[in-house]
């Protein structure tokens, strides 16, 4: 599971590194968070969904920025592998989970949910939403992976302990800053508060430092610009292994690849 790809650098990191990552870890499924994958860092287009899928993403999760592009409906219509937080209103396009069959014939569920603490969207209770979805998912598979898109460490920990032993893994996204607390909870669920993002290291959450800092200091409007010029570049995520028979996690390992140079063009980042 790979953290939020921010703009074209995030896409270029993914397309450049997914080959070596697949060779090293031999994953049955690659999940990537695409809520910031559009060129301006907000949302995703159908074109970018296609690019990421062709590059090697099996499932694309998202979060609060997922409806940030005008073409969000087309993006969801273009692929059932793109999911959005489960607890958004039912009128929103897309759905909050996907059942995926691996090349070796194993069915896994990938779920996306969003937290409520310090988040602007008035979404339904993520705990109760997960509880009711699990009733259904457990009839389909023991292997359930959750991308919990939330701001606070406490809400993410709360969800982890709420689901411990009932899902295979919960990874956090949204803060874009990785945490060092990956481990297996007492009842067998792999957990990490946040897996971080894939972007310029010398940026603020993937955005140009001055574009964010000037708003903090002056309180004047400032357009946040994806940092495309200044490296090094980092891809972050985790590799999780699980026991297919029980659905319990066996290991969770943080993945971090730093590149001094990154080619960002249409071949590596797609056309949008
Ligand atoms: Fe994000
Ligand atoms: Fe987010």
Output the six-digit token pair for 106: 């194993």
Domain that holds residue 235: 4-269
Average pLDDT estimate for 44-67: 98
Taking the CA of 64 as reference, the closest ligand is: 2
137 Cα: distance to centroid of ligand 2 (angstroms): 25
Q: What SS3 state is found at 38?
A: coil
Helices (H), 26-125: 46-55, 72-78
CA 104 to centroid of ligand 1, rounded, Å: 31
Residue 137 confidence (pLDDT): 97
Task: Give residue 139 CA to ligand 1 midpoint distance, Å.
Answer: 31
pLDDT at res. 70: 96
Q: How far apart are CA 206 and CA 254, in angstroms?
A: 19
* Structural domains of the chain, count: 1
Residues whose CB falls within 8 Å of the CB of residue 135, separated by 6 or more in sequence, listed in order:
none
Which listed ligand is nearest to 199 at the C-alpha?
A: 1
175 C-alpha vs ligand 1 centroid, how far in Å? 7
The answer to whether residues 111 and 145 touch, using CB atoms and an 8 Å cutoff, is yes
Question: Given this model, what pLDDT does residue 36 score?
Answer: 98
C-alpha 245 – ligand 2 centre gap (Å): 33
Q: Which residues are tagged catalytic? A: 65
Q: Is 81 helix (H, G, I), strand (E, B) or coil?
A: coil
Mean pLDDT of 206-231: 96
Q: Indicate the pLDDT class of residue 42, thresholds 50, 70 and 90.
A: very high
Predicted TM-score (pTM) of the model is: 0.98
- CA separation (Å) from 122 to 36, 75, 125, 198? 20, 23, 9, 27
Ligand nearest to the CA of 63: 2
What confidence tens digit (pLDDT) does each residue in 244-254 have? 999 999 999 99
Q: Are 131 and 111 in contact (CB under 8 A)?
A: no
- In tens, the pLDDT along 122-156 reads 999 999 999 999 999 999 999 999 999 999 999 99
CATH of the domain at 131: 3.60.21.10
pLDDT tens digits for range 63-111: 999 999 999 999 999 999 999 999 999 999 999 999 999 999 999 999 9
Q: Residue 63 C-alpha to ligand 2 middle, in angstroms? A: 5
Split at pLDDT 50, 70, 90, the class of 35 is very high
Cα of 206 from ligand 2 centre, angstroms: 12
Question: Would you say 146 and 171 are in contact if contact means Cβ atoms under 8 Å apart?
Answer: yes
Amino acid 8: pLDDT: 98
String of b and e for 53-72 (b: at least 16 CB within 10 Å)? bebbbbbbbbbbbbbbbebb
At 14, is the pLDDT very low, low, confident or very high (cuts 50, 70, 90)? very high
CA of 223 relative to ligand 2 center, distance in Å = 17
Alpha carbons 212 and 208: distance in angstroms, whole number: 7
Strand duo 144-149 + 183-184: pairing = unpaired
Q: Which residues surround ligand 1, an ion (CB under 5 A)?
A: 4, 35-36
**DSSP code per residue over 162-226:** HHBTTBSEEEEESS-S--S--EE-TTS-EEES---EEEESSSBTTB-HHHHHHHHHH-S-----B
Residue 179 banded pLDDT, cuts 50, 70, 90? very high
């Amino acid at each position: 599971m790979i953290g939020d790809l921010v703009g074209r650098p995030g896409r270029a990191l993914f397309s450049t590194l997914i080959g070596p990552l697949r060779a090293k870890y031999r994953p049955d499924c690659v999940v990537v968070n695409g809520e910031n994958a559009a060129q301006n860092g907000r949302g995703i287009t159908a074109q970018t969904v296609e690019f990421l899928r062709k590059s090697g993403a099996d499932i694309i999760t998202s979060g609060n920025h997922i409806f940030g592009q005008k073409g969000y409906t087309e993006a969801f219509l273009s692929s059932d592998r793109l999911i959005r937080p489960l607890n958004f209103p039912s009128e929103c396009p897309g759905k909050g989970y996907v059942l995926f069959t691996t090349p070796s014939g194993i069915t896994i569920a990938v779920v996306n949910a969003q937290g409520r603490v310090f988040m602007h969207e008035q979404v339904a209770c993520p705990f109760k939403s997960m509880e009711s979805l699990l009733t259904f998912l457990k009839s389909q598979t023991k292997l359930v992976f959750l991308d919990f898109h939330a701001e606070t460490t406490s809400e993410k920990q709360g969800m982890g302990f709420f689901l411990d032993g009932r899902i295979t893994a919960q990874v956090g996204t949204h803060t874009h800053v990785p945490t060092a607390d990956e481990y297996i909870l007492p009842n067998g669920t792999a957990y990490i508060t946040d897996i971080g993002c894939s972007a310029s290291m010398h940026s603020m959450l993937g955005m140009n430092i001055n574009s964010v800092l000037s708003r903090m200091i002056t309180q004047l409007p400032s357009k946040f610009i994806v940092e495309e010029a200044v490296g090094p570049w980092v891809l972050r995520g985790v590799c999780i292994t699980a026991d297919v028979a029980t659905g319990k996690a066996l290991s969770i390992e943080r993945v971090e690849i730093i590149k001094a140079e990154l080619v960002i063009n249409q071949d590596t980042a797609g056309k949008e």
